[in-house]
Chains A and B, each alone.
Chain A
Amino acid sequence: MTLSVTGLTKVYGAGDTAVRALDGVSVTFGQGRFTAIMGPSGSGKSTLMHCAAGLDTVTGGSVLLNDQDLTKLSDTALTRLRRTRIGFVFQSFNLLPTLTAKQNILLPLELAGAKPDPRWMTTVIDTLGLADRLGHVPSQLSGGQQQRVACARAMLPRPDVIFADEPTGNLDSRTGHELLEFLRRSVRELGQTIVMVTHDPHAAAYADRVVLLADGRIVDDIENPTADAVLGRLRTLGV
C-alpha cells in the first residue's frame, strides 16, 4: 500500500476572498506506519486529510492510492472505494444513533455487500473490548466506548489506510491515551496504516512520524517524535 500526495493545492473561494488552504503539499504515507499531521489552527491539516481521504475535491495536484489517482475518480467511484479501502475515525465519533454498536461496525462492509471475516471481527472486537457492548445503541455507550466502536468500524474492512481526525478530542485524557495505545498497537501488531490529524503533542507522540503543517505548506517532518520535541518545534512556529 502506498498513499502519496503530490503538489496538492486547495483554494477556497475565488478572487479577493480566495483562501489557499493547501499550497503544493507533497507527502507519502508509508505502509504500516502511524503518521500524525500537526499544525496550528488554519494550517490546513484537516483539509490535507479530507483531500487525501477522497472526501473533498482538490484544486490541483494528485492523490495516489496504490497508483490510483483519487482526484480523477467520480463521486460514486470514490464512495465505493471509501467503503472498504479507507477507514475513518472522527472527533465526535459519528456513530449512527439508530443503529446498535454491531450494526455500526458492520455498516461499511454491508454497504459494500461484503461479509466480514469472522476471525478478524473477533480479533478487532476483543482487542477493543467491545464484546459485551455490541447490542447497545450509541446513546447507551460512554464516549470512550463510542470511539472504540468507531475504531472497530474503521478497522473491520481491513482498509488500506485509516484516517483519524482528532480522535481523542472528545475524550478525557485517560480514555484518550487508551485509544491512542490501541491505534499504535494496531499499527505495530496488525500492520494497519493510520494517518491522524491532531493538535495535541502528547497524542502526536504515539505516532511513528509527525508531519508539521503551517499556512498550507509542510514545514517539518519528524521521525519517532516525543511530545517535547513536537512542542519545541511548534513553539518555533510561533504558536
Chain B
Amino acid sequence: MWRFTFASLTKHARRLVATTMAVVLGVGFTAGTLIFGDTAQAGFDETFARTAKNVDVVVLAGDHPLTAEQLRAVSGVGDVDHAEGRMAASLPMLGSSGRPLLNNGRSGYAVSVAEDESLRGFDLDGHAPAAGEALLDLETAAHEHLSIGQRIQVLDKSGAIQSYTISGLVDFGVSKKYSGLSVVGLPQAEITRLTGESGLEEIVVRARPGTDQNELAQRVRSALADGVTVKTGAQRRTDLANEATSVATQFTFILLIFGVISLVVAIFVIYNTFAILLAQRVRETALLRCIGATRRQIFGATLLESAAIGLIGGAFGVLAGIGISYGLPLLLNNALHSGVPDHPVVVRAAPVLIGLTLGVVATMAAAAIPALRATRTRPLAALRDVPSAATTSRRSKVVRAIVALAAGAVGVFITVRGGQTDDSETATFIVVGGGVVVFLGVLAASPLFIGRLTALVGLPAGRLAGPPGRVAVANARRNPGRTAVTTASLMIGVGLMAMFSMLLGSIKETAKDQLSSHYPADYMVAAVRDGKTGEPGRIPMAYADQLKGHKELATVATIRSAKANVDGKVLHLGAIDHPELLPQLPGGLTDGAIVVDDKQPDPNLPSLRTLAAADTTIPGAGRFDGIVTWSQLEKLAGPGDGSLVLVKAASGVSPVESREILDRVGLAYPLTVVNSVADLSSGLETAVNGLLGLFAGLLGTTVLISLFGIANTLSLSVIERTRESATLRALGLTRGQLRGMLLAEALLMGLVGALVGIVFGLVYAPLVLQAALRDVVPVIVTPWDWLAGLVLLAAAASCLAAVLPARRAARGAIVAAMADR
C-alpha cells in the first residue's frame, strides 16, 4: 500500500497543488502568529528590560517621589559603586505648528539623562546633552521630521518657550509609559529649572564587583524609610518581562483566532478535494478491492496520502509563517499604532512543531470522511460505468435537514438567551456563540438550498449568455454538496468581513450620534493634560473672558472640576457657569444645593440640599459625584481656574469664522486644545477605518484560501467533465465560450457564497451590537459600499480562480477528449 500511496501522490500531484496551498495558508497564518508572538515577546522583553540594564538594585518611589536625600543615603551604603536618580516630569514640546505635541490630549515628558553612561535606561544614538542641548525620542523625531543638530522647543512652567539643539536620539520602544508622547532627555538640573520638579521616580544602583544583589538590596532598604520599594536588578528585570508578556499575549490571542478561522476554512477545502478526488477514483479503488485490498488498507492508504500532503503543506506553511511574522508587525503598527518593537524574527521549536502537527492533523481529519466513504466502494464498481452526477438519497437529505434545523434552533435559542442577559460582555459572548451554532446550521443546510439559490442568482446568466450561461448554471448546481462545501469557505470569510464592517460602521455611527446628541456646544476647549499624571491642567479665566468679548460666540461656558471635602467625604465635584448648556441638569440649581449622580448611591450630605439625581456627565470632563454652582464650589474648594471651556457659536456664524476666533485667542494660551464635534468624528473615523482595514487584511487570508478552494473544485470538475466539454465543442461551442462558461460557473459559486455570508453578517451584526451596547441605542448602519466591495471581491476572486482551470479545459483537443474514458 505504501508504494500505491506514493504512486498515486505523484500521479495526482497537480490535482493536489491547490489543496496543499490551502494547508500552507492555513498553517502559515497560525504558525506565523505564533512566531510573531515569540518575536514580539523577545522585542518587548528587550525594550522593557532595557531600563534595568546594568542595574544591581533599584529603589522605586511609592506614593511620593524620591528625594535627593534618599539618593544621598543610597549612595552612602557600602558596596554601592554608583547610584543615580531618574526623574520624569511633564514637559510640553512644541511641534512645527507652534502648538504642543499631544497624544490623546496629553502633552509630553522630560526624562533625566544619567551622568553615568552604563546606568542610562536607554540606548543613545548621538551624544549626551551638554548645555543648550537635549535628546529626543525616535518616534517624535520621525513624526516631526527632526534629526540630530536641529532645534526643538519646549514650554517651561511659566509657559515661556525654551529652545534646545538635538544632540542625540533615543528609542524608548513601547515602554507603555511614554508610548506616543514626546520625550525630551535633559540633565536633571535642567528639568528642575524648567518644571520646578525635583522628585525622583527611581534610584538605580550599580554595585561594586562581587557584591551580592540580595544582600545589597537589604542594606539599601534599611538605609531608607518605609514607603519605597527596593528590588534587585534581577527581580526588576523579571517584573518587566512579565509586564512585556501580558502586552505581547494581547496581540497573539486575537491573531490566533484569525489563524484558527483560516485553518477551518482550509479544512473545508481539503475535505472537498479528497471527496472529489476519491469520487473520481472509484474505478481505481474498486480495482484495488478486486485484486484483494481490504477496506482497512484502502482507508489507510487514503489517510497516509492525506498525512503526506499535510506534512508537506505544514512544512511550507511554517516557512510561509516565518514570512508572515515579518509582515504582521507592519500591519499592526500601521493599523493600530500598536508599537510592536523591531526585533529579528525568533523561530522557536514550538511554533514549528505546532505548525507541522496542525498541518498533518487537520488534513487527516478533513480526509477521514471521504476516506471512509471510499472504503464502501464495492469491487464490482470497477467493471461498471460510473454515474457522473452524484445523486443524494432522500433519507440523507432528511437527515441533513433535521441536523440543520436542530443546529439552527439551538443557535437561535442561545442567541435569544444572550439577548436577555444583563451583563453586556457576557451577552456579547453568548450571542456570538449562538451565531456560530446558527452558522453551522446554515453550513449543514447549504447543500439543500444552494442549488435553488444558484439558479436564482444565475437567472440573468441564462438570459444574457444563452445556452452556455444555462449550462454554467446547471453545472454549478449539479452537485450541491460539492458547491456547498466550496462556497462554505467563502461564506465564512465574506460573512465575517460583512459582520465586522457592519459592527465597526455601526459603532462609529453610534459614537457619532452620542457625540452630537450629548455635545451641547460647537467647541470644547480643554486644558492640555499632564503628560505624567494624565490630570487635566487649568485654563486661565482670562481665556474665557477674552472669548466672551467676541459677539460671534453666543455662549462661552467654563467648567471647573475639583475635589472637595463635604461632610467628611471627598467628592469629585463639578461646576459650570452656564448650566443651561447641559439639558440633563434640572433647573434651579442654587448655592447650597447639589445635583447628585444618578448612577451612584445618594451620598446623603447633611450640609447640602440634594436637588435631584441626574446624569452628571459633562462632555470632555467626565462624570462627577455631584454638580454644584460655581460659587458653591469656590466655597468648598477655594477659588480656582476652569479646566474646560464649552463654546457655542452665535447663529449665522460660519464654522470657519468661529474657529478662526478660537485659534487666534488660543495663540496666547498654548496649553489649550480646541476640539470640535467634527474633529472628534474624524478622529473616530480614522480609528475605526484602521481597525476595519486590519480585520479585512486578516480575513483576506480566508478569502485567499477559498480562492484556492474554488480553483480546486473547478479544475477537478473540469477533469470530470472532459467528455462533456468535448461534446459541447463538437456541437459548436467555441473555446472562448467554454472558458466563459467555467468563469460564469465560478462567478456563480463566488456570488452565492458571498451572498449567504453577507446575509448572515447582516442578521447577526445588529444582534451582537445590541448585546454589546446596552446603555445606548445603537445606530445600525448597513455599509452598502463595503458590502458591494465584498461582492466584487468575491466575484473577482472566483473569476481569478477559474482562469487556470478554464484555460486547461479549452485547450484540450476534441477528439482526444472524446476518446478519453
Among A76, A107, A113, the residue within 8 A (CB) of B734 is A76
Contact in complex: A55, B815 (CB < 8 Å)? yes
Contact B732 A111 (CB under 8 A): yes
B755 to chain A, nearest CB (A): 22
Beta-carbon contact of A83 and B732 below 8 Å = yes
User: In the complex the two chains form, what is the Cα distance from A96 to B734 in whole Å?
Assistant: 16
The answer to whether B732 touches A112 (Cβ under 8 A) is yes
Q: Which residue of B lies closest to A98 (CB)?
A: B474
Cα–Cα, bound, A112→B732 (Å): 8
Which residues of chain A from 80 to 134 have a CB within 8 Å of any chain B CB?
Answer: 80, 82-84, 88, 90, 94, 96-99, 103, 107-108, 110-113
A55-77 with Cβ < 8 A to chain B: 55-56, 75-76
CB-based contact B731/A83 at 8 Å: yes
Q: Which residues of B contact A55 (CB under 8 A)?
A: 730, 814-815
* Residue A173 CB within 8 A of the other chain: no
A75 to B737, CA, bound (A): 12
The interface residues of chain B lying within 8 Å CB-to-CB of A111 are 466-468, 731-733, 737
| Interface pair A56/B814, CB less than 8 Å apart | yes
How many residues of A are counted as interface, with CB atoms below 8 angstroms from the partner's CB atoms? 26
Write the B464-504 contact mask toward A (1 if CB under 8 angstroms, else 0): 00111011001100100000000000000000000000000
CA distance A153 to B474 in the complex (A): 19
Give the most central of B470, B723, B731, B735: most A CB within 10 Å. B731
Q: Known contacts A56-B815, A90-B818: does B735 contact A76 (CB below 8 Å)?
A: yes
**A139: Cβ under 8 A from any B Cβ:** yes
- Which residues of B (711-742) have their CB < 8 Å from a CB of A? 723-724, 727-737
**Cα distance A56–B818 in the bound complex, in angstroms:** 12
| B388 CB-CB contact with A under 8 Å | yes
Prevailing SS type, chain A contact patch: helix
| A41 in contact (CB, < 8 A) | no
Q: Which residues of B725-772 have CB atoms within 8 Å of chain A's CB atoms?
A: 727-737
A50 vs B816: C-alpha distance in the bound complex, in angstroms? 11
- A79 to B736 CA separation, bound complex (whole angstroms): 11
Q: Give bound CA distance, A162 to B734, whole Å.
A: 20
Separation in Å of the B549 CB from the closest CB of chain A?
82
Are A139 and B389 in contact (CB-based, < 8 A)?
yes
Contact residue among B467, B729, B814 (Cβ-Cβ distance under 8 Å from A110): B467
Q: Give the docked Cα–Cα distance between A30 and B728 (Å).
A: 27
Q: How far is the CA of A79 from the CA of B729 in the complex (A)?
A: 7
- A75 & B466 in contact (Cβ 8 Å cutoff): no
Q: How far is the CB of A188 from chain B (nearest CB, A)?
A: 26
| Of B388, B468, B731, B736, the contact of A88 (CB 8 Å cutoff) | B731
Residue of chain A at shortest CB distance from B723: A94
CA distance A83 to B818 in the complex (A): 18
Question: Most B CB atoms within 10 A — which of A80, A83, A90, A98?
Answer: A98
Within the complex, the shortest CB–CB distance from B719 to chain A, in Å, comes to 16
- Measured between beta carbons, the chain A residues less than 8 angstroms from B729 are 79
Partner of A108, one of B388, B478, B731: B731
**Contacts beyond the supplied A90-B727, A97-B388, A111-B468: 13 A-B pairs with Cβ under 8 Å:** A55-B730, A56-B815, A79-B729, A82-B730, A88-B730, A94-B723, A96-B471, A96-B728, A97-B389, A107-B467, A107-B731, A111-B731, A111-B737
Residues on A facing B (Cβ under 8 Å) = 50, 55-56, 75-76, 79-80, 82-84, 88, 90, 94, 96-99, 103, 107-108, 110-113, 139, 153
